[in-house]
Structure 1
Amino acid sequence: MYKIFLADNSSSGHHAAYLNSILELDNTENVSSLMKFSEKKYSFDYYLSRLIFLKKIKSNVNKLQSSINKGLVHLLYIDNLYTIPFANLSLDNVKVIGTLHHYPQNNLKMKLLKVFSKKIDLIIVHSSYIMKQLNKNGIYNVEVIHYPSFYNYDSLPSASNLRKELKISTEQTVFSLLGGTRYDKGLDIFLNSFQYIPNEYKEKILVNIVGKEETFDKNYIKEMSLKYNINIKSYFNFVTDNEFMSNVIVSDYMVVPYRNFFTGNSGPMTEAVVNSIPVIGPNYGNIGYLIKEYNLGYTFESENSYSLSQIIMEAVDKKVTIESNYKNKLTVKHFLNSYQDIYHNLM
């Protein structure tokens, strides 16, 4: 008998959905140790907190090893672990794999990941683009499993009924930006693009901003709304799953104007694709690759507000929808089958 030991240091947000989904597979067990890692880079606590986590995971596995012939530890989020060059991951009769959600942003981190990759059997990434970036840097023990949508939209009303509930006119083109207003997500790039958009277009546009206030707060957004005459509907409090899904459904376009240093997948983009809603994103990096590779919508010159303004006007004129085979890769069933195959092959 073999066992798959699933480990993470966090249960917040998508961490919980990811873990709980994989726990549906046979022979899986949660050996996570919830703890907050130090973020002060190159400090003693930075390394110590991560080493303590790995030690706890190894201890949790050792306690359960007597009941199995062989096992596999799956580190569900190695983005905050591979920067420890002296981590010891070895366990008797146990293989180790890890999921990487963002590829390294600089050469030092890439070198550290390469060292880390030699200590484990396999790295899982969520895009072929990320796999290619790792391959270019000499990391070859990599496989792709696409990050799925964990939401179930079946119980929601239609988009037209939701628009009535939310008092959104059918004449308006809704551009949504969902999730926390972090700097890397480029909300300011999007809002600045309205300085180049004529009023006759602005009258047709509703900007839908829903998420936690972070870098760009409600005062900044209000200021930009007045400065550039932008019609904005915003909500910054906690949203339920149904409220989040509703804001996806009412969108004509999902806007993901990430800055160049963002190197992962976008949750709102995934939700748009599974609902056949076109995406507007930069022509750079993983986001740009996915949009172009799978024909998911429009791309603009990365970090260029003027380029984005031209795409916004084109999107208002055309009001397109998408039907991409990529959405078939984004189901939980496909996600679980892919992990099951990897576990089976390694065991």
Structure 2
Amino acid sequence: MRVALYDPTLSGHHPEYAANIVRYLSNIGDDVLYITPDQSNRATIVKNAGAKILFVGRPSVGNAIQSFHRTVSNVRSGLEIAREWNADIFHHLFVDTREPAITTALSTTSTPILFTLFNPHYHREGAIRQRVYGNFCFKFIDIFSLKSSFMGMFVHTPQIKERIHQRSQFLEEKDLHVVPDPVALPDHRLSKEEARRNLNIKGEDPIYLFFGGLRAEKGAKLLMEVIGNLDRDATFVIAGSEGVIGQTEIEVANNQSRAVIDARLDFIPDSKVYTYFFACDAVVLPYLSEYSGTSGVLQRSAAAGRPVIATNVGEVGPLVKEYDLGYVVQSDVQSITRKLKTFDPQTALKKFESALLTYAEKHSVDRFSREIRSVYSDVTHE
């Protein structure tokens, strides 16, 4: 089988996600072409997994509306390359928020098309503008599902599938393929002490981790308020690129609180990611209602055996509750502060560790990749 994967960006966990698919397909003898407009050196992750890499167009700049024409152009160029390569499938990864442009670009093709939806923003709470735009995007997907080339869309939980199907006019249940949100288990495990020495973390216990880009919907500002109001000794390791907050906001919170912030405001290399999780006692997910998808940080927390303190939003809160992965609180300063103030590392590890590791095994890369390949076989009648 010849599979063309199109990925709009190499940011975040995009390359790891694609590499999981590529590695499995390559190992069973399939050919994989990875097409992206993002000429980042992180494409090496996908190349090393066994894909041929082709860059097309230029990365889209601005929000989905501002970059509409650029997205259409990039996807059309990527599709043309896939057709010339005689691809059996064109699988567009991470269609989130750019559905109008993507479906426009693919509207006339006969090549079998599959999508992956990571962030089900059609159900997003928050500002009216966001909800209206989410409905707008959903209509494009719903109508596109009528085309003979549409072979379905991958989603990561049965709940996402159910909600999409309930509100759709044309999408059928068989069009929505549930696969695990994959997590690669660490190659080796470190004790907390080893990980802290490795990263030179010397703060007071408990040590909490906030990992990833400091984006608004991930509750970066909310976390600063929480830290400023926390009346206990603790250390917050913040590891990720600057966003809606930076060093100035962190210094203000540091001056207001008994807790200490150890800020590592930079891109964290893949080789160091799990070390941060092993070094902490718990991972804080103070996400806002605008955050509607699953979470790569949650997946890594489970694989590292570290409980989370998560807000009850999107898919994250229900997942933590269902699989017993940590504590779930409301998305406000008081609720998060109250849980952080009473958190006990030993009690939490004893309560959640087994469930965390079981969850990680159920969401393994191997299971994810096999289920993706099974759908490929079904839609191409291989």
| Same fold (TM > 0.5) | yes
Partner AA of 1:179 in structure 2 = G
Instruction: Determine the structure 2 residue equivalent to 1:19.
Output: 18
- Of the candidates 170, 180, 190, which is equivalent to residue 146 of structure 1? 180
Cα distance in 1 for residues equivalent to 2:262 and 2:203: 15
- The structural deviation recorded for 1:250 is 0.9
Determine if the alignment matches structure 1 residue 220 to structure 2 residue 249.
yes
Cα distance change of structure 1 residues 195 and 215 upon mapping to structure 2, 3 Å threshold? closer
- Of the candidates 82, 97, 109, which is equivalent to residue 137 of structure 2? 109
Determine if the alignment matches structure 1 residue 159 to structure 2 residue 192.
yes
Cα distance in 2 for residues equivalent to 1:208 and 1:135: 40
Q: Give the conservation status (yes or no) of the 8 Å contact 1:225–1:231.
A: yes
- The structural deviation recorded for 1:171 is 6.6
Aligned pairs (5 A) from 1:119-198: 119=147, 120-138=150-168, 139=171, 140=173, 141-150=175-184, 152-154=186-188, 157-166=190-199, 168=201, 172-194=205-227, 196-198=229-231
Secondary structure of the residue that 1:21 maps to in structure 2?
Answer: helix
- The structural deviation recorded for 1:318 is 6.1
Instruction: Determine the structure 2 residue equivalent to 1:342.
Output: 375
Aligned pairs (5 A) from 1:238-277: 238-277=267-306
Aligned pairs (5 A) from 1:37-56: 37-42=60-65, 46-56=67-77
Partner AA of 2:339 in structure 1 = I
Instruction: Determine the structure 1 residue equivalent to 2:45.
Output: none
- The structural deviation recorded for 1:236 is 1.3
Determine if the alignment matches structure 1 residue 75 to structure 2 residue 92.
yes
| Structure 2 segments unaligned to the other structure (5+ residues) | 38-57, 125-130
Secondary structure of the residue that 1:284 maps to in structure 2?
Answer: coil
Cα distance change of structure 1 residues 86 and 7 upon mapping to structure 2, 3 Å threshold? closer
Cα distance in 2 for residues equivalent to 1:60 and 1:230: 53
Cα distance change of structure 1 residues 62 and 187 upon mapping to structure 2, 3 Å threshold? closer
Cα distance change of structure 1 residues 102 and 244 upon mapping to structure 2, 3 Å threshold? same
Determine if the alignment matches structure 1 residue 99 to structure 2 residue 129.
no
Q: Give the conservation status (yes or no) of the 8 Å contact 2:119–2:292.
A: yes
Cα distance change of structure 1 residues 234 and 7 upon mapping to structure 2, 3 Å threshold? same
Cα distance in 1 for residues equivalent to 2:224 and 2:61: 34
Sequence identity percentage = 21
- Of the candidates 80, 103, 106, which is equivalent to residue 88 of structure 1? 106
- The structural deviation recorded for 1:170 is 9.4
Q: Give the conservation status (yes or no) of the 8 Å contact 1:31–1:57.
A: no
Aligned pairs (5 A) from 1:3-14: 3-14=2-13
Instruction: Determine the structure 2 residue equivalent to 1:333.
Output: 366
Alpha-carbon RMSD across the aligned residues, in angstroms, is 2.4
Partner AA of 2:191 in structure 1 = S
- The structural deviation recorded for 1:274 is 0.9
Partner AA of 1:47 in structure 2 = F
Cα distance in 2 for residues equivalent to 1:121 and 1:216: 41
Determine if the alignment matches structure 1 residue 64 to structure 2 residue 85.
yes
| Structure 1 segments unaligned to the other structure (5+ residues) | none
Farther off after superposition, 319-328 or 211-220: 319-328
- Of the candidates 27, 31, 35, which is equivalent to residue 28 of structure 1? 31
Cα distance in 2 for residues equivalent to 1:37 and 1:162: 38
- The structural deviation recorded for 1:313 is 2.3
Partner AA of 1:37 in structure 2 = S
Secondary structure of the residue that 1:175 maps to in structure 2?
Answer: strand
Cα distance change of structure 1 residues 39 and 176 upon mapping to structure 2, 3 Å threshold? same
Farther off after superposition, 244-253 or 118-127: 118-127
- The structural deviation recorded for 1:255 is 0.6
Secondary structure of the residue that 2:310 maps to in structure 1?
Answer: strand
Cα distance in 2 for residues equivalent to 1:278 and 1:28: 39
- The structural deviation recorded for 1:11 is 3.1
Cα distance in 2 for residues equivalent to 1:222 and 1:333: 43
